[in-house]
Chains A and B, each alone.
Chain A
Amino acid sequence: EDQVTQSPEALRLQEGESSSLNCSYTVSGLRGLFWYRQDPGKGPEFLFTLYSAGEEKEKERLKATLTKKESFLHITAPKPEDSATYLCAVQARGTYKYIFGTGTRLKVLA
């Protein structure tokens, strides 16, 4: 069964304190892995798509990496405006279903 597990559930960081969020996945052939950001009361907003192990993508203070079993979202020198829930999702080959993890709630303190 396709599955996505995110850790930690919640994370509090001081402004400038770098860290990483983890997304472990089990899927019968990965078509794509996605990272989204969700602010309270809003719909998820797309950040990155990764397609194959070894791939990396960056956007401002965020960097996503992918291995055959997990993905990391690295946050470098975070700011309070980076506070949000970060969601990971996968899509398996041969299907058009998306499987989401339960997310990591990030709080960055000034």
Chain B
Amino acid sequence: EAQVTQNPRYLITVTGKKLTVTCSQNMNHEYMSWYRQDPGLGLRQIYYSMNVEVTDKGDVPEGYKVSRKEKRNFPLILESPSPNQTSLYFCASSYGDRGAEKLFFGSGTQLSVL
């Protein structure tokens, strides 16, 4: 089954403790991206990647890192999480190379930073 898999589904952590949210897709998609969703602000793009070793900033990249060492994986790294990073996070992928391709989303990761 074609899917985008995020882990974990829920995560509670404390300020400053490094964490990684994993994202994997099995559709051989070129494009992968991360979003955060906050009430009243909608979905905002954090980072995206057009291919292996090619990443670029979205609208809210501060406090986040990403890497794309393999085509199928695109982890999101919070090296020193802060309470304002408490949010619902989504990973998404698409074919990407032609532009304006539909996104396939994961099920989300609810992160709470205390």
Contact = CB atoms under 8 A, between A and B. Distances in A.
A binds B: yes
B41 A102 contact: yes
- The number of chain B residues touching the other chain, given as a range, is 20 to 34
B103 A98 contact: yes
Contact of B90 (A44, A49, A96): A44
Contacts of A99: 45, 59
Interface string A21-60: 0000000000110101000011111100101000000000
B90 A97 contact: no
B45 A98 contact: yes
Contacts of A65: none
Contacts of A32: 99-100
A46 B100 CA distance: 12
Contact of B40 (A49, A96, A102): A102
A46 B103 contact: yes
Nearest to B97: A96
19 contacts: A34-B103, A42-B107, A43-B106, A43-B108, A44-B43, A44-B90, A45-B105, A46-B104, A49-B100, A87-B42, A89-B43, A96-B31, A96-B99, A98-B33, A99-B59, A100-B43, A101-B42, A102-B40, A102-B41
Interface of B: 4, 31, 33, 35, 40-45, 48, 50, 56, 58-59, 90, 92, 96, 99-108
Interface of A: 31-32, 34, 36, 41-46, 49, 51, 87, 89, 91, 93, 96-103
